[in-house]
Amino acid sequence: MSVPDVKLIQPRVFSDSRGYFFETFLAERYEHAGVRGPFVQDNVSSSHRHVLRGLHLQWPGEVQGKLVSAYRGTIWDVAVDVRVGSPTFGHSVGAELSEENHCQLWVPPGFAHGFVVISESALVSYKCTAPHSPRDEVSIRWNDPTLAVRWPSAAPTLSERDAAAPFFADLPPSSVPQYIADSRG
């Protein structure tokens, strides 16, 4: 991955004529891969084609890491390093997550996250390291030119909140993560 803190996880999948089986999470295996919990909240979202959710993060209180999976459909999932002072500041990692490839994306604390649905619909799961905290929610404009995320949809369907999200440069300093070497965010 071009941003070492972001991890693309490919679980072992056991398939046969009946279907498939795979472990969606095993703490020891994920910690060995650099994905650290503890995980305290699981979320699920359902969306239709071209729906874009993001870019979101929580800062400064309940800082949240996310392990993202698509259990139905296909999404283009994105993690953006928005930690000021980071060697990879402004870099993004995008990956296709689907019910066929079973891949998961680890979005570390201090990174903005978003996804767009590229199938007819998608069911997405987020395993989170901190509970949802409305007072710590930060939204960044999905098409912020400073971050230059490459989305596969030029005209996505957005929530009112995401459509009105500020550009990164317009965020108050207290809403912007600072990079600290050898930290979790």
Active site residues: 56, 126
Is the backbone peptide bond immediately before 123 cis, with ω within 30 degrees of 0? no
Q: Could you give the CA distance from residue 116 to residue 101 in angstroms, rounded to a whole number?
A: 17
Instruction: Give the strands of the sheet with 121-128, arranged side by side.
Output: 7-9, 104-107, 66-72, 121-128, 41-48
- Return the exposure string of 7-33: e unless at least 16 CB atoms fall within 10 Å of the residue's CB, then b: bbbebeeeeeeeeeeeeebeeeebeee
Cβ atoms of 116 and 41 within 8 Å: the answer is: no
Q: For residue 128, count other CB atoms closer than 10 A to its CB.
A: 20
Gap between the terminal Cα atoms of the chain: 18
- Answer for the pair 136, 46: CB distance below 8 angstroms, yes or no: no
* DSSP state for residue 157 in the 8-state scheme: B
